[in-house]
Amino acid sequence: KVIIIDYGSQVTQLIARRVRELGVYSEIHPCQVKADKIKALQPDAIILSGGPASVGEEDAPKLDMGLLEIGVPVLGICYGMQLLAHNLGGELSQSETREYGPAELEFCGKSTLWNGLGKSSRVWMSHGDKVSKAPQGFDVCGKTSTLGIAAMCDEKRKIYALQFHPEVHHSLDGTAMIKNFLFEVAHLKADWNMHNFAERVIEECREKVGGGHVICALSGGVDSTVVAVLLNKAIGHKLHCIFVNNGVLRENEGEEVVNYLREHFDLNLKYVDASKLFLDKLAGVDDPEKKRKIIGHTFIDVFEQEANAIKAGGVSVKFLAQGTLYPDVIESVSHKGPSAVIKSHHNVGGLPEKMDMDLIEPLRELFKDEVRAVGAELGIPESVLWRHPFPGPGLAIRIIGKITEERLNILRKADTIVQEELRASGWYRKVWQGFAVLLPLKTVGVMGDGRTYESVIALRIVDSVDAMTADWSRIPEDVLAKMSTRIINEVRGVNRVVLDISPKPPSTIEWE
Ligand code: XMP
């Protein structure tokens, strides 16, 4: 495995992903972790990431020299290169200007990383400091028009350093360089794939669970569906899946997944219709945070009740399964201090302490795209694997103002049309999320010869990679026109459709 030491770069996760895409397992650890701990992980190679600090500055993260003593190949990227230079006797200097963006890297010396490449390569730079003298034992093997030392290596000690970022797509031969590092330098084997992963995790879960039982909240989303199918393969009916209908689901949301799973996977699955309970509690509430809290708490109550019923049947439920993913697990060094609560996200986070159960998180090593690949490996169809994210509080936070049956009906119909048109036009897979929002206002319209005074639907369709930032999707006008026409014609109570063209930040993806 490859251990990536994170010095706080925005793109550290990309390094991990590139390595995994090449078939080698990789893990990210914060730079404060001591070298003996890293050594105990038995890495086959170490990559030092980039970072925003300046080597030598007060508080700047330092290189733990013990990492170099582990005796495995090391690759330093950007800040990682500067750390190597600084600690091994080279010299750094500040560039007059920070350098961002593309540069032409000329291979001016030998390096195993250049195997199979031409004479030069387009790379992507992002740095302020630079190495002005290479440490002893290092050869300068790459330069650009502004950098005398853009890459250096010590082939004997197998230490490599790149000033640019090979992990980003804009570095055209970046993947080839990482590939050379993994296979030509570190002689790793490409055996990380989702087939092996699924087999290993199924086995591990089986062992961990032993004779006990596991419960799992199934939402119909990708993560919980993959968790359920994976654990089902491991422990069969000792997995108790609970699907809670909270009354604010989309049209057929859930039923589709539940029916599909029942048919194909012989899941031990209970469908709990708690919609009346949720809707009663939501009646008259228009404050977004209140809505979120009510739904979160009610969910926990219902889930607890169901779990207790299972336990009352004499079953020993020891674990709660969750679809936690790797990005939630990584302790990033770039997150400084507590951040403000923008929205209270509803998930089952509060459950384990309350219920005295251990967590089982089979996906905690995976990125989202890997989860989808595991799902495909397990035979879950694309239509389930590529479902857009759907928030726990569901349509409640897309109905601005009070939630009523009538308003739910309007939004469900409008939303179904948005989903249908996204799919029909081929845009469903291209966007992160697309949905309808029902606004708390009425406007005047004319239909036939009569005046109407009806509701407004907003379309929220966004592109994103991680939901942290997003931009409104540039959907072709004819697709938008079709959505608008259909919503106005087919949904009673709506006479106007508007398009949300706000990026995040400042505007969050959901309206509440
Ligand atoms: P925001 O609105 O914060 O949403 O920009 C970011 C992403 O998270 C989803 N979302 C939620 N998901 N529980 C969830 O599981 C929640 O309470 C929740 N609130 C928002 C939202 O759909 C978007 O993809």
CATH of the domain at 315: 3.40.50.620
Beta-carbon contacts of residue 374 (< 8 Å; ≥ 6 apart): 194, 197, 198, 226, 230, 363, 366
Q: pLDDT at residue 16 above 60?
A: yes
**Structure tokens that stand for 88 in this block:** 């091994």
> Beta-carbon neighbour count of residue 342 at 10 Å?
8
Q: Does a structural domain hold residue 243? A: yes
Out of 345, 347, 400, mutate this one to test ligand 1's pocket (max ligand atoms within 8 Å of CB): namely 345
What is the CA(127)–ligand 1 centre distance, in A? 33
C-alpha span between 507 and 502 (Å, rounded):
6
> End of a domain among 356, 385, 414?
385
State the catalytic residues.
78, 165, 167
Q: Which domain holds residue 364?
A: 194-385
What is the CA(345)–ligand 1 centre distance, in A? 7
> What pLDDT does residue 511 have?
98
What CATH number corresponds to the domain at position 134? Answer: 3.40.50.880
CB 197 within 8 A of CB 222: no
- Note whether 450 and 370 are same-domain residues: no
- Note whether 406 and 371 are same-domain residues: no
- Note whether 129 and 250 are same-domain residues: no
- Note whether 98 and 179 are same-domain residues: yes
Over residues 282-315, the pLDDT tens digits come to 999 999 999 999 999 999 999 999 999 999 999 9
Residues in the ligand 1 pocket, defined by CB under 6 Å: 343, 345-347, 389, 391-393, 433, 467, 504, 508-510
- Note whether 107 and 72 are same-domain residues: yes
Residues forming the annotated binding site for ATP? Answer: 219-225
Beta-carbon contacts of residue 325 (< 8 Å; ≥ 6 apart): 223, 363, 364, 366, 367, 368, 371
Among 116-120, 355-359, 431-435, 486-490, where is mean pLDDT lowest?
355-359
Helix axes 477-490, 405-424, angle to 10 degrees: 150
> End of a domain among 185, 220, 248?
185
> End of a domain among 155, 185, 215?
185
> Beta-carbon neighbour count of residue 249 at 10 Å?
20
**Structure tokens that stand for 143 in this block:** 């330069």
Q: Does a structural domain hold residue 510? A: no
**Structure tokens that stand for 361 in this block:** 């998180």
> What pLDDT does residue 220 have?
87
To the nearest whole number, what is the mean pLDDT of the chain? 93
Out of 509, 511, 512, mutate this one to test ligand 1's pocket (max ligand atoms within 8 Å of CB): namely 509
Find the mean pLDDT for residues 194-200: 94
- Note whether 329 and 375 are same-domain residues: yes
- Note whether 74 and 103 are same-domain residues: yes
Whether ipTM > 0.95 holds is yes
- Note whether 376 and 463 are same-domain residues: no
> What pLDDT does residue 162 have?
98
Q: pLDDT at residue 337 above 50?
A: no
Q: What percent of the chain has pLDDT over 90?
A: 80
User: Count of domains in the chain?
Assistant: 3
Beta-carbon contacts of residue 87 (< 8 Å; ≥ 6 apart): 63, 65
What is the CA(391)–ligand 1 centre distance, in A? 5
Residues forming the annotated binding site? Answer: 219-225
The pLDDT-based confidence of 485 (bands split at 50, 70, 90) is very high
What is the CA(504)–ligand 1 centre distance, in A? 12
Over residues 113-140, the pLDDT tens digits come to 999 999 999 999 988 889 999 999 999 9
> Beta-carbon neighbour count of residue 265 at 10 Å?
18
Q: Does a structural domain hold residue 242? A: yes
Q: pLDDT at residue 496 above 80?
A: yes
Q: Does a structural domain hold residue 407? A: yes
C-alpha span between 484 and 422 (Å, rounded):
12
Q: Does a structural domain hold residue 112? A: yes
Q: Does a structural domain hold residue 472? A: yes
Q: Does a structural domain hold residue 507? A: no
How far is C-alpha 453 from the chain's CA centre? 42
Over residues 385-401, the pLDDT tens digits come to 999 999 999 999 999 99
What CATH number corresponds to the domain at position 462? Answer: 3.30.300.10
Bridge partner list, 452? 445
- Note whether 365 and 451 are same-domain residues: no
Q: Does a structural domain hold residue 253? A: yes
Over residues 21-43, the pLDDT tens digits come to 999 999 999 999 999 999 999 99
Q: Is 499 helix (H, G, I), strand (E, B) or coil?
A: strand
The pLDDT-based confidence of 330 (bands split at 50, 70, 90) is confident
